[in-house]
Structure 1
Amino acid sequence: MNKHVLFSLFLLSFYFGYSQVSIIGTVSDESNQPLENVNITVLQSLNGATSNSKGFYRLEIPKQLESVTLEFTYVGYKSTLHTIDLSNLEGNDSYKLDVIMVESALELEEVTISAGFAKEKDKLPYIITTLKKQDIATSGQSNLSQNLAKIPGIYNISFGNGVGKPVVRGLSNANLILLNDGVKQENFQFSSSHPFLIDEMSAERFEIIKGPASLQYGSDAVGGVVNVIKERPASINTIEGDFTSNYHTNTNGYLNSLGIKGSGKNLFWGVRASLKSHEDFSDGDGNDVYNTRFNEDNFSANLGTRTGFGKFSVRYDYTRPQYGIQNIASQNLVNTVPELLSSGRENQVWYQNLTNHLITSNNTIYLNKNTMDIDLGYQSNLREANGGVFNQTEEVLLSPTYASMQLNTFTYNAKMSMPFDDNQLLFGINGALISNDADESKPNNPLLDSKINNFGIYAIGDFKLNEKITATSGLRYDYRNMTSDPVVTETTDQFAVNNSYNSVTGSLGLVYNFKKEHFFKVNISSGFRSPTIPELTQNGIHSGIYERGDANLKAQRNYQFDVNYHFHKPWMTIDVSPFYNKIGNYIYLIMTSEEAPIGNGNIFEHVQNDANFYGGEIALDIHPNKWFGWHSALSIIRADLTNAPLDIEHPTFIPQDRWTNEIKFQLGKLAFMKQSFASVEFMSFFEQNRTGQNENSTPAYNLINLKLGTKVNIFNQDSDIFISGFNLANETYIDHLSFTKQLDLNMMGRNIVFGLNIPFTIRTQKSNL
C-alpha cells in the first residue's frame, strides 16, 4: 500500500506548482536592434524561452535554484553564456539581464558541457570540438564515425559501410570512451570491427575531447572522449519535432528518422524512431564489394519532470543493427557460390547481429547555489556473429552463429557543482558493474564469462586568477577489478584472471587571454587504461587468427602535453594545436614467430611497450562576407614504439596525414529559396609509409566532394533540402585505416545523396501537457 502512495505522490509532483523568481531582459545586436526568436536555455533545468519581436524574454526559475547559467543561441551570432546569482532576490523581485549578441558568419558552437561545467570553449585549456545534430542531419554520411572524421585530428576506421570507429590523434578502441546520455558504453572496445551502438539522430550534438580526460570519466580516456549530448526538451507549452530522410545512389540506401517532443511547465517527453538500410556498395571501378550491406533499427523515448527542487528524467534507447562482415571466409564463399547470394539488402551470411537496450536516469537536484547531478544507467547488449557455410548436399547456404555474448552493465555517476564568484569546484564519484555471459556452445567468443568492477573519485577546480588568466586543475583516483571464468570450446582455451588495477591521475591547464581576440592555452594531463578482458584472457581463434592474451599485462599510463593558440574574429578563426602524448606500457597486437596450434598462420599476441604519439592540427576558417567562406585544416599524426620486439617501429592503424579545403558560397533569398549554398571540398590524404607490422604502405589519394542546399517552406516550416556528392571523381582507393585493406577491398566509389530535413512546431497553451 505504501508503495502505491509513494508512486502516486511522485506522479503528482509532475504537476505541483512551486515558488519561482523571474529573469527578464532584452536581446539585441551590436546596433541595439532587437533580435527575435533568440533561444535562451537554463542549463541546470533545461527549460527556456525565446525572445519576441521586441527582443524581450522572460524566464521562471525555481527559488531553490540560486545560481543559474543561461545560454543564448541564434543563427548567425556567437553563442554566449551568462551565470547569474539569484540568492539576493527578495519577494517578487525580478532579475534583469540585457544581452548584446555579436554577429558571426562562422557556424561554430561556442559552448560545451563536457568539461564538467558549462563553459565557452575559448576558455578551456584543452581542445573540445563540437558536431551539431543539424550538421549530421544534412551531411549525407552513413554512420556516426564518418561524420566525426570531418573534425581535424579525428579519423575513421572503416569496416565496410555501416561500421566505423573514430580515431582520435592516432588512438582508438579501448583508448577512447563513448558517453551516451552520461553513461559510458562498454560494447565496442575489444575490436575495430565492433561499432558504437547509437542513433546519431537522437543527439543534440556530439562533443569530442582530444587527449586524456580521465579526471571526470575514468579508465580508457587515454586518447579522448566522444560525449553524446541528447536532444533538449521542447520549449515550454510546445510540441515540436523533425523528419529527416536521405537516399544514397551507390547503395540504394536510405535513412529515415522521425522525432517528436513536447513540454509543459513541469512535464516533458519525447520519442524518436530511425531506420537505415543499405545494399552492397560499388567501388571506383564499378565492382560490387560484397557484404558491405547493413540494416539498422533505432527507437528512443524519454520522460521527465521539472520541480521546485530539481529536474528528473528517464530515457530508453533501443538499437538493433545487422552489419555485413568482410573476411577471407566470406570472400571465399562469394567466389564459390555466387549464384546463391542475393544482391539485395538482406543480411544472409557473415554478419554481426546486435541488440542493445539502454535505460538511463538523469537527475539534477538544486541545493541553493550548488547542484547535484546523479546519472544512473543500465545497458543490456547482445552481440552475435553469424557465419556462412555452403551445404553442398542440399545446395543451400547456412548461417550458423559463431559467437554469442550477453553484456550487462550498471553505471553510476554523481557530481556536486559548487560555483563561487567566477570560480567553480566539482566533486564526483562514478563507476560501473559489468558482467559478460558468453554462450560456450559457440566456438569463437572473444569475451568469456567475466566481471568488472570500476570505481573512481575526483575533484576538479576552475579558477579565474585574474582578468587574463584562467586555470583548470584536478585529481582523480581509480580502482578496477577484473575476473574471468573460462570454459574450453572447440577453438578457445582462454585464461582465468583475477586482476586489480588502481591509479592516481591529474591535470593542470592555463588559458592566457593576452589580447581581446588572442588565446594561448597549455595543458598537461595524465590518463589511465587497464587492459581489456580479451587482452588478458584471449587464447584461441578470433576474427580468423589465433590470438593470445597475457594475464600479466600492466595498466597503460600516459602523459599528454597540449598547446593551443586560438585567434578569432566574427569573420575568422585560427587554431594551431600541437600535442605530445607519451604512453607507458602501451598495449598492442603483434604476430609472433610461433605457429598457431589450430587454424592457419602464426600466433598473434598482446604485448606492451612504451609509445610516443605526437603531431597536431592547424585549422583556418575565413568568412570575409556573408556569401563566401573558406575552411582549411591540416592534421598530422606520428607514432613510435620504444624497444618493441621484432624491431617493430610503429603501431598499426596510424592515420595518413590529411589536408582538407572547403570553399562555400552562400546566397540570401532567391525566389522561394532561402539561405542557399554550394560548397566544394578537396580532401588530400598523403602517403603513409610509417607502417606497423604486416602493414603495407598506402599511396596518396584525393577526394572531391560537393554539396548543394537550400531552405524552402514546406507545410509552413523552413526545411532543408540538399544534394551531396562524395568521391565525385570516382577515385579507386583503399584508405590506410580500412579494416579490410588486407583483403584488397576498395572503398566506395561515387555516391550521390539526396536529403531533406523538415522541422515542425505546434504551440499549445495547455500547461498540463
Structure 2
Amino acid sequence: MKIWRYLPTVSTFIPQPKENMLRSCLTILVCFSCMASFSQTFTGVVFDKETGQPLPFADVYFVELKTGTTTDSSGVFTIDHYKQKRIHIQISYIGYQTFDEEIDLTKGGRQEFYLEPGHFELEEVVIAVPTGKLQGEHIVSIEHKSMQSLQPHAAAGLAEAISQIPGVEQNSTGPGIGKPVIRGLSGNRIVTYAQGIRIENQQWGAEHGLGVGEVGIESVEVLKGPNSLLYGSDALGGVLYFIDERYARHDAVEGYAQTRFHSNTLGSSNQLGLKAHKGKFKLNLFGGYATHADYRIPGLGRVLNTRFDEKNVKSAFGFNTNNWIANIRYSFLQNNFGIAEDASYTEEVDRSHELPFQTINNHNTSLENIFFLGSSKLNLTLGYTHNYRREFEEDPQEHALGIRLNTFTYNLRWKSPTINQHLSLIVGAQGMEQSNKNNGEEILIPDARTADLGGYVLANMEWGKLQLQAGLRADARQIHTRETEGEGEIIPAIDKTYTGFTFSAGMVYALERISLRTNLSSGYRAPNTSELLSRGVHEGTNRYELGNANLKSEQATQIDFTLNYRDEHVDFAINPFLNTIRDYIFLSPTDTVIDGSPVFEYLQTDAYLFGGEMGVHLHPHHIHWLHIESNLSMVFGEDRQGNALPLIPATRLQSTLSIETKKTNKIRLKSVFVQHMYKFRQGRVSLFETPTAAYHLLNAGVQMAIPARRQALEVSAGVKNILNTRYIDHLSRFKAMGIPNPGINVYAAINFRFNGQIK
C-alpha cells in the first residue's frame, strides 16, 4: 500500500513545497478576509472571591486569539470579538489561583469572575494537549515552564535551558549542541513542535541539535512518556512543545531589547522584539544573534573548536474575522558549530570557523486556522520545514556532506461541543510528506521519501471531581529509498510500510488538597533510514555502523501515577512510571573491524525503563517571600537479559532556595536564588560505556527591576559552577575523549521593555 496515493490534495503542495504552500495560504487568507467582520464587545469584571473587592490590573488572556488585556482600576476589562459564541479565557493575578474557563460571549450585560487567593506559581493553560485544561488538571504527565523562569539559569542554548525541568536531561556536545532526553529516551523517540508544527531536522544524529531558536518563545511544555495518540510515530518517549510569544494587548504596541554576557565562552546573546495589535490585525517580529568562543574548563584552558554562533529571525501575523482566526508564522535559524575531534586545548580566543565545522539552516513556515462552528471548533494547521545541513572538513568553501530535508505536515482537529454537560470528543487526522536529498561527496543516509498518515479519536468525560479520558489511533508510515553508492559500497533500495495502533486511557480525581492521576498510554516508532541502511564510519563516534533492513517498529506501553498534595504552604508531588518497549532498537558491538574502526550493528530486543520524579515546594507561613524547592529525577533502563541500556541519565537531586519580593520601589529586588545540583554516580552502564563519577554544582543569581509607567528595565546576574568544579556528565559526547564540561561562568543580562497604545 502506498500512502501517497491517498494524499492527492497534499501532493499538490509537494513538487515545489515552499512556493505552493505559500500560494495556498494566501488564497485561503483572501477568501476568508472577504467575509463580514462586524465586531461586538464583551465586558467582564474580576473580583477577590473572599473579600468581594475588584482586582485592578489582573492579567486576562484569550487563548484562541493569543492576545490579552488587563483589568482597569475597577477590575473591568473588555474584548472585541467577531461573532464567536464561545472563547477560552484565562485570568491570573499574583497571589491568586488562575481562573480558566470557556465562556459564552452571547450573554448580555457584564459577566463576573472570582479569583481565589493562593501563594504558589500561577498555573498555565496547556496548549500541547487540546483539552483546554490547566497543567495540574491533565491526565497525561505534563511540565509547563515559561522561558522567563528558565532564563535566570543563563543557559547557552534552548536544550540546556529545558534540562532544568525534572525528568529532562540533554545529550551535549559542548555548550553549543544539546539533544533533549526525556526519561532516558532521545533522538527519534522524541517529537518536537514549534510554531504549532512538527520540526524535522535529521534528529537521528547524535551531534544534531534541537533545531529551534530561543527568540520569540514564551514557554515550553514537556509531555513525558508515549504520546503517539496525539502526535503519531516517534512520540515514543515524549513531546517537546514550544509555545510562541503571545501577541501584544489589544490596540497596543510592545517591544524589548535584551543582551546577555557569558564569561566562560566570552559569549554574548542579543535579541530584539516588536509586537503590535490593532483591531483584528496582530504582528510579531523578533530577531537574535549569539556568538561564543571555545569554552573553558578548569586547569586546562579552552577546548579547541567548540565555538559556535546562531542567527535567528521570527515573525507572526494574526488575523481574526467572522468565526475564523488565522496565524501565519515564519522563522529562520542558522547555526554554525565547530567540531572538536580530540582533546586539544588552547588559550586563544577565536570565533572564526575552523575546520571541521558544520552549518545548519532551518526555515519553518506554518499556517494555523481556527474555525468556530457553532459550539464546536475546527483547527487546521499546515506546515513546511526546510533543513539544510552541511559539514566542511577540508575546504571552508566546499562541503563534504550536504543533506536537504523538506517536510510538509498537516494537522486537522475537530473539538465537539460538550454533550450532556459531561462528554466532549476530539477527532483528528495528521500527515507528513518528506523528502531527503544528498548533495555532498559523503553519504550518511540515502536519498529517501517518507509519508505518514494517521487518525485518532479522544473522549473526555467529567463528573464533578472525576475526569476520565480515553482514545484510539491508527498510523501508517511508508519509507522509499533508491539504490545509493556510499563510501565504496552500494546501499540497497528499500520500500517498506509500517503500521501502528496506539491508545491512551487515564483519570484524574481532585479533592480539596489532594489530586490523584493515573494514565496508561502506548506509542509506536518506525525505524529511521539511518537504522535501516547505515553502512560506513559515522564521524565523531569512531565506529562503523551497519544498518538492518529487517528492523520492526518499536511499540511502547507506559503506566504512570501521580500523587499531588497542595495547600497554602506546601506543594508535594510524586510521579513514578514504568515504560516497556517491545523491539527496542539499539547499537551492539561486534568482534570485527572495518577500515580501522570497530563495527556496530543495529539489533532489537525488549527494553524496560522505570523511575520517576518527586518534588516539594515549601512556602513558609508568614514568610511569603521565601521559597524552598527540591526535586529528584531518576530513571533506570535495561533489556530483557538485565543488561543496562546506553545513555541513561544519572539520578539528579536539585534544590533551590529563593527569595522573591513584590515591593514596587523605584529599584525592585525581584529575586535572589541559590541552587545546588547533585548528580549521582552512574555505574550501571551498557557494554560500550564506562561509569561516570558523581559531582556537585553550585549556582547563584539575582534579578532586579526598575519599573516605570510605559517601560521597564530588568537586570540579572549570577554565577554557574561557583566552585569551578571539573566534572564530566554521563550524557556528554565528549566523555569518550575525556573532555570535561564547562567550568565557572559569570553571567549578566539587561532586558529593556516598553509599551504604548495605538489610537
> Does the TM-score normalized on the shorter chain lie above 0.5?
yes
Where do 5+ consecutive residues of structure 1 fail to align? 390-397
- Contact 2:491–2:535, Cα closer than 8 Å, also in 1: yes
* Residue of structure 2 equivalent to 1:343: 349
Contact 2:668–2:705 (Cα < 8 Å) also in 1: yes
Tell which deviates more after alignment, 650-659 or 118-127: 118-127
Q: Which residue of structure 1 aligns with residue 551 of structure 2?
A: 553
Matches for 1:280-679 after TM superposition, within 5 Å: 280-328=294-342, 331=343, 343-388=349-394, 401-420=399-418, 421-439=421-439, 441-443=440-442, 445-464=443-462, 466-490=463-487, 493-513=490-510, 515-543=511-539, 544-596=542-594, 598=595, 600-624=596-620, 625-643=623-641, 649-669=643-663, 672-679=666-673
Q: Determine if contact 1:355/1:381 at 8 Å carries over to the other structure.
A: yes
Deviation (angstroms), 1:510: 0.6
Q: Residues 24 and 56 of structure 1 are in contact (CA less than 8 Å); yes or no, is this contact kept in structure 2? A: yes
Contact 1:349 1:399 in 2 (8 A): no
Distance 1:742 1:9, change over 3 A: closer
C-alpha deviations, 1:242-296, integer Å up to 9, x for none? 2221100111101101111111111111110011110011112252111111000
CA distance in 2, matches of 1:541, 1:575: 46
Question: What are the equivalent positions in structure 2 for 1:215-230 lying under 5 Å apart?
Answer: 215-230=229-244
Deviations 1:335-367 (A, max 9, x none): 8xx8xx963112221222111111110111110
Asked if structure 2 preserves the Cα contact closer than 8 Å seen for 1:15 and 1:267, the reply is no
Letter in structure 2 aligned against 1:720? E
The 8 Å contact of residues 433 and 452 in structure 2, kept in 1 or not, is answered as yes
Q: Secondary structure at the match of 1:97?
A: strand
Contact kept in structure 2, 1:23 and 1:60, CA below 8 Å:
no
Q: Residue 66 of structure 1 is aligned with which of 85, 88, 92?
A: 85
Contact 2:201 2:387 in 1 (8 A): yes
Deviation at 1:160, TM superposition (A): 1.1
Equivalent residues, number: 730
Question: Which of 156, 162, 177 is 1:142 aligned to?
Answer: 156
**Matched AA of 2:520:** I
Distance 1:27 1:434 in 2: 51
Residue 47 and residue 273 in structure 1: after superposition, are their counterparts in 2 closer, same or farther (change >3 A)? closer
CA distance in 2, matches of 1:426, 1:12: 25
Structure 1 residue 738 and structure 2 residue 728: aligned? Answer: no
- Residues 493 and 540 of structure 1 are in contact (CA less than 8 Å); yes or no, is this contact kept in structure 2? no
Distance 1:670 1:725, change over 3 A: farther
Q: Which amino acid aligns with 2:147?
A: K
Instruction: Work out whether residues 222 and 558 of structure 1, in 8 Å CA contact, stay in contact via their aligned partners in 2.
Output: yes
Q: Structure 2 CA distance, aligned partners of 1:45 and 1:667?
A: 32
Is the Cα–Cα contact under 8 Å of residues 358 and 379 in structure 1 kept in the other structure? yes
Among the aligned pairs, what percent are the same residue? 28
**Cα separation, partners in 2 of 1:675 and 1:569, compared to 1, 3 Å:** farther
Tell me if the contact between 2:35 and 2:322 (Cα under 8 Å) persists in the aligned partners. Answer: no
One-letter amino acid of the counterpart of residue 38, structure 2: Y
**Counterparts of 1:29 and 1:290 in 2: how far apart (Å)?**
60
Q: Are the equivalent residues in 2 in contact too, given 1:495–1:538 (CA < 8 A)? A: no
The 8 Å contact of residues 278 and 758 in structure 2, kept in 1 or not, is answered as no
Distance 1:267 1:670 in 2: 34
1:45 and 2:39 aligned = no
Change (3 A) 1:593 1:286: closer
Amino acid paired to 2:94: V
Give the structure 1 partner of residue 9 of structure 2. Answer: none
Matching residue of 1:726: 720
> Could you tell me which residue of structure 2 aligns to residue 105 of structure 1?
119
Indicate conservation of the 8 Å contact 2:608/2:639, yes or no: yes
Rounded Cα–Cα distance in structure 1 between residues aligned with 2:674 and 2:341: 35
Q: Which residue is 1:760 aligned to?
A: 754
Letter in structure 2 aligned against 1:369: S
Q: 1:20 aligns with which of 17, 40, 46?
A: 40
Alignment partner of 1:262 is 2:264: no
Q: Judging changes above 3 Å, is the alpha-carbon distance between structure 1 residues 401 and 491 closer, same or farther for their aligned structure 2 residues?
A: farther
Which of 129, 136, 140 matches 1:115? 129
* CA shift in 2, pair 1:66/1:11, >3 Å: closer
Aligned residues of 2:123 and 2:134 also touching (Cα < 8 A): no
- Report the Cα distance in structure 1 between the residues aligned to 2:118 and 2:339, rounded to whole angstroms: 45
| C-alpha spacing 1:306/1:716, structure 2 compared with 1 (3 Å) | closer
Report the CA distance between 1:326 and its aligned residue: 2.1
State the match for 2:15 in structure 1.
Answer: none
Letter in 2 for 1:28: D
Q: Is the 8 A contact 2:215 2:312 kept in 1?
A: no
CA apart distance, 1:727: 0.4
Q: Work out the CA distance in 1 between the residues paired with 2:689 and 2:29.
A: 63
Paired with 1:76 and 1:345, the residues of 2 have a C-alpha distance of 46
Deviates more, 1:70-79 or 1:651-660: 70-79
Contact 1:14 1:266 in 2 (8 A): no
Relative to the length of structure 1, the TM-score reads: 0.91
Query: Which runs of 5 or more structure 2 residues have no equivalent in the other structure?
Result: 1-22
Alpha-carbon spacing, 1:12–1:486, altered in 2? closer, same or farther (3 Å):
closer
Q: CA deviation at 1:673?
A: 1.8
Distance of 2:374 and 2:174 partners within structure 1: 52
Residues in 1 aligned to 2:238 and 2:32: alpha-carbon distance in whole angstroms: 42
Residue aligned with 1:401, SS: coil
TM normalised by structure 2 equals 0.92
